[in-house]
Structure 1
């Protein structure tokens, strides 16, 4: 990085107070050298007044002096540049506030003459040092709801209840002075974890935390009436309730005033003088807010039990729609404090290993043992009688109270020595019978915290365009088909197509999310994305195919710049002797590549053909199943030997390439176009959206299987991921185990899922895309359930979203489905040779179709007919 680039980023009169550094592939740099070098350069060029924060701040920090080594992993997020960048910006935005808060804690400790160290709870329910929390507050900002849920489970005796009989999940509502936090407790008593990606502040992130939703409603929420409309919150008097609320002699009408005026509570200096109509209207507003947030957290339309905690929970009205029972445990007002006192102690191992000559399992076992040892030495309960038993191999799964909670395997991209970064985290309950971890009592509670020069006064907040949310009724939504039979895509259409592309990508094709953001921005800038039916194409039409090529593990870090495919389109048109083309064709609908033609069409003012030439994603650039003649042209260099260069270039440059292929002259043959439409992706995305709206996530597989025939193969959680990147591909496998009874949210499973024994594992090998799924049970032969060219997709059970192979992560709850492949792949010798098991070295594996293929209906045909 050159110094001129740094100074050129900022005008002389707009030097920033903070700069966030998030490097490409920074999770693979376990020493943090990449971002540290950039930080030093920025500070040198912009001066000491600029605070530079990286996604790796706090690379090492002391946790306990007895620990064998320091914890070195301090990543804000996992692999995925966009999500990690978002998390880094959020982290920087709350950094000053967090550091002032922690310094305030430490000042109070000094005033009380306390010499003990200060620890805070993290989003995942484990402890962290004050120094770490001051550098990475994004890891602690949602710890309050996690603490409340753990405390609520303890106070309500849920763990004891579950020992005697299986219980269903319970929603915990924690009402404070300003906000209401809502989470889900599993029958095990632990909070339900968030999906692989979560939205914080309206942006997507991918760090670990409990699945919590918050609304601006609390005991101190301000109540206003203007022109007959009544609002409650989101602003609040907060902890000044006893000073500002009407019932305490103040002048601000709050939610607590309304509840007392209704006669449902007795607080303060008497009942406030509030009109009955205003009380009734405000109570209705609070009721609707709570019902909406509860509805959003449910994964089943059935009524659910609610556990109320928090000092502000008195504002919760009875008789909430969708709630079977509402209860408050003893000491409900201090559930948060109880949960914080129950926070688990963690230990972590972070290392680079070379797998040559060893299996990943052989490497992981001793590292898991080290992680458990670190947690126990930090004060976690070993759950066994003698510490020397920890030396026994395989004990990593034998400890009753301390166990592995996270395993992250990050292969170093495009290397030949199978180098991989491994991060393993173990956690356990605090060992109450022991004096706890040894600490340096001479250490000042004012731990090593970098100070930040932020005054007490609020800084000026720049006004930015807020996300416009249009409340559409997706049940009755109709796509816009113009009179000339062109489908004019809306943002909702685009979102559904992106979700459908993820399902059809079978783990590959790149994440649909980054190209979706690009395409959506083009729509917001006034450009159009027009989709045409192939039946309406004129005889002199010229279409090109476009796609990106490279490893999915690389594409989530190296985002597209925007010029790759347009440049290759121009190169192809020049090669075939044309100045213009009629439009573009989706080379493979799977993953992010399904969105690329829409970006190009919007930028060039062309149409996208409602055609998909593969019906899925494939790791190799195959001839499309429509049997179109193709001339292959590389995107970067005009050379004739594409096949030799195609994978070699991105491999050697740690990159991926945009690719355009000469696709079609004239009107396509209707027979060759049958059953291969973008419309199928739209319908799958719509089916997912409808189930989400109905809070019926467990039946998302069933809804998808109504669009395309197939089967729901397995429901469980990921217990192992092996992954490496070589020769331009992401190779590996994912292993999925069934959920334990106390991990299930209810007794039902997605229909028509198949149930298996607790020792059965579903293993899915992949090469960019999922290749086959097989069952492995001790003492029984391996049973292959489905293979390519049928589609194998892993869904995130928490959100219903599809997962790409780079997103497979230890502990994620997933549902595996298989969809029938297009007959051109499954029923022809050429298709099976090119895309069947033998194409991937599985010559001894026969192909048996999972189901009969169902031809997807055209969106244009269906909705254009409604106009006539």
Structure 2
């Protein structure tokens, strides 16, 4: 029997789980999250190994889901010095690169911005010849001043030749130690949002490097020698090499892991998932076992981007949410005691009334000392608890696309706060091990690859061209670590673009497969 170890680093807890080769949960554990990722992970790994008594040499794979890259963008800390290059003059100079970024972020990563002649039309035809001499001048200016470079070109997802050539020219001057991010490999068609996503990706390269190294060190510290993979925001995994190249794809992997873990634990591939934590409740939708993707451009740290992200609605409601009493009235949140729940909640001897206290007073939850909330008025407790349920019901309705009832799966450390029926739910499921659904989601994930481009498709060769595109997606997954023989297409979109000349068609295809075994 061989094993997988899954870790998910959250704002309050670092959750860990070990699964056997039949996907049975051998053991699970929660450890407080630490400022340095390595210590928290090491503590979780140590506890898992001690609790399971497992021979550590039988662990083949380690998976990590983390918010480190997200936090770096939001807090504006530990970001790379980035050179920003847009290829698109003279056609694409009306709006400056990263013009829509918040000023505080621009002040950090917007000091070296250039626009270069070149770029392509939607069908891949040339707008202007690439100005290679200008690129050589830029490379000499950037040498020694930046450690990461973001290159974006007009319609590069259709024709990436100018981005590729620009990288060759600049790398020859600045050296291979400088990281490169090409927009054709990160975002979809829209230039401005794709450019933003590419710049953010370039800005978190070093954060990703520290995170991956920290995970590996934490494992090796406890004698675990295994292949490591990292979770991305579409519910699948990336190899270490892929993660270091595209760290932006790890953003929002926490809620995604919870959705994937909820699907596994509940045996439901199509359901609404409510992940209830200490501070927030994240509501998402499962479609065929994977998170529904957002159809809107995604804002990250105040920046509009267009890379793939799960459709998640976050509600300021969790186990640590503070209840404020105002005479006969009350207010739920949005503030939370967060990781200080064990010291601040009334049932633990604290002085702050929280959602956890209400659940204990209601008799839904057996935790701490129930006598410490006996002084709460029963009618008031009922009204507060009813409003908590109502808040979740309203959030669930926001995520539904019809008035039909659907299964609702509750996961997360706060899932035990909810008892009884939920309006709009055909059934309410709180599966075993729901508190570590996020770590389970990281451990069970497949490897994926995706292609999204506009093609001019010759009707006579349509079938042949679509097969080639699907193979590109499969190759992407295999390059990221998937088993070539078990990788298959899991989603396919084929949308004719009537407003463009010719046979322009937007193709979006995703392939996924299980981890390649040694």
Q: Shorter-chain TM-score category? A: 0.5 to 0.7
8 Å contact kept, 1:19–1:50:
no
Per-residue deviation, 1:309: 1.3
From the superposition, tell whether residues 42 and 295 of structure 1 become closer, same or farther in structure 2 (CA, over 3 Å). Answer: farther
The number of residues matched between the two structures is 386
Q: 1:48 matched to which residue of 2? A: 145
Q: 2:366 matched to which residue of 1? A: 266
TM-score (norm 2): 0.58
Residues 658-715 of structure 1, C-alpha deviation per residue, up to 9 Å, x if partnerless? xxxxxxxxxxxxxxxxxxxxxxxxxxxxxxxxxxxxxxxxxxxxxxxxxxxxxxxxxx
Q: 2:422 matched to which residue of 1? A: 320
Q: 1:426 matched to which residue of 2? A: 511
8 Å contact kept, 1:42–1:52:
no
Among residues 174, 177, 183, which one is paired with 2:284 in the alignment?
Answer: 183
Among residues 202, 220, 229, which one is paired with 2:320 in the alignment?
Answer: 220
More RCO (CA 8 Å, sep 6+): 2
The separation in 1 between residues aligned to 2:319 and 2:114, in whole angstroms, is: 39
Q: 2:403 matched to which residue of 1? A: 301
8 Å contact kept, 2:182–2:198:
no
Per-residue deviation, 1:266: 0.8
8 Å contact kept, 2:239–2:480:
no
1:365 aligns with 2:467: yes
The separation in 2 between residues aligned to 1:143 and 1:79, in whole angstroms, is: 23
What RMSD in Å do the two structures reach over aligned CA positions?
A: 5.2
Among residues 311, 334, 338, which one is paired with 1:238 in the alignment?
Answer: 338
8 Å contact kept, 2:183–2:194:
no
Among residues 263, 266, 271, which one is paired with 1:153 in the alignment?
Answer: 263
1:129 aligns with 2:250: no
1:17 aligns with 2:108: yes
From the superposition, tell whether residues 280 and 199 of structure 1 become closer, same or farther in structure 2 (CA, over 3 Å). Answer: farther
From the superposition, tell whether residues 27 and 150 of structure 1 become closer, same or farther in structure 2 (CA, over 3 Å). Answer: farther
Q: 2:221 matched to which residue of 1? A: 111
From the superposition, tell whether residues 374 and 211 of structure 1 become closer, same or farther in structure 2 (CA, over 3 Å). Answer: closer
From the superposition, tell whether residues 199 and 348 of structure 1 become closer, same or farther in structure 2 (CA, over 3 Å). Answer: closer
Q: 1:286 matched to which residue of 2? A: 388
Residues 276-303 of structure 1, C-alpha deviation per residue, up to 9 Å, x if partnerless? 3663454244223212211101112233
Q: 1:248 matched to which residue of 2? A: 348
Per-residue deviation, 1:244: 3.7
Larger strand percent: 2
The separation in 2 between residues aligned to 1:176 and 1:362, in whole angstroms, is: 48
The separation in 1 between residues aligned to 2:105 and 2:514, in whole angstroms, is: 49
8 Å contact kept, 1:310–1:334:
yes
The separation in 2 between residues aligned to 1:284 and 1:366, in whole angstroms, is: 54
From the superposition, tell whether residues 342 and 203 of structure 1 become closer, same or farther in structure 2 (CA, over 3 Å). Answer: same
8 Å contact kept, 2:238–2:480:
no
SS of residue matched to 1:368 = helix
8 Å contact kept, 1:94–1:137:
yes
From the superposition, tell whether residues 14 and 175 of structure 1 become closer, same or farther in structure 2 (CA, over 3 Å). Answer: closer
SS of residue matched to 1:16 = helix
Per-residue deviation, 1:105: 2.6
Q: How does 1:342-357 map to 2 (within 5 A)?
A: 342-347=444-449
Per-residue deviation, 1:39: 12
Q: 2:308 matched to which residue of 1? A: 208
The separation in 1 between residues aligned to 2:366 and 2:406, in whole angstroms, is: 29
From the superposition, tell whether residues 96 and 183 of structure 1 become closer, same or farther in structure 2 (CA, over 3 Å). Answer: same
Per-residue deviation, 1:123: 1.5
TM-score (norm 1): 0.37
8 Å contact kept, 2:183–2:195:
no
Q: 1:403 matched to which residue of 2? A: 489
Larger helix percent: 2
8 Å contact kept, 2:279–2:336:
yes
Q: 1:490 matched to which residue of 2? A: none
8 Å contact kept, 2:235–2:256:
yes
1:197 aligns with 2:296: yes
The separation in 1 between residues aligned to 2:479 and 2:106, in whole angstroms, is: 46
From the superposition, tell whether residues 230 and 354 of structure 1 become closer, same or farther in structure 2 (CA, over 3 Å). Answer: closer
SS of residue matched to 1:118 = strand
Per-residue deviation, 1:74: 6.4
From the superposition, tell whether residues 346 and 283 of structure 1 become closer, same or farther in structure 2 (CA, over 3 Å). Answer: same
Asked which structure has the greater CA Rg, the reply is 1
The separation in 1 between residues aligned to 2:397 and 2:346, in whole angstroms, is: 32
1:81 aligns with 2:191: yes
The separation in 2 between residues aligned to 1:430 and 1:321, in whole angstroms, is: 39
8 Å contact kept, 1:197–1:204:
no
Residues 480-510 of structure 1, C-alpha deviation per residue, up to 9 Å, x if partnerless? xxxxxxxxxxxxxxxxxxxxxxxxxxxxxxx
Per-residue deviation, 1:265: 0.6
Structure 2 unmatched ranges of 5 or more: 1-88, 125-129, 154-162, 165-180
Q: How does 1:619-658 map to 2 (within 5 A)?
A: none
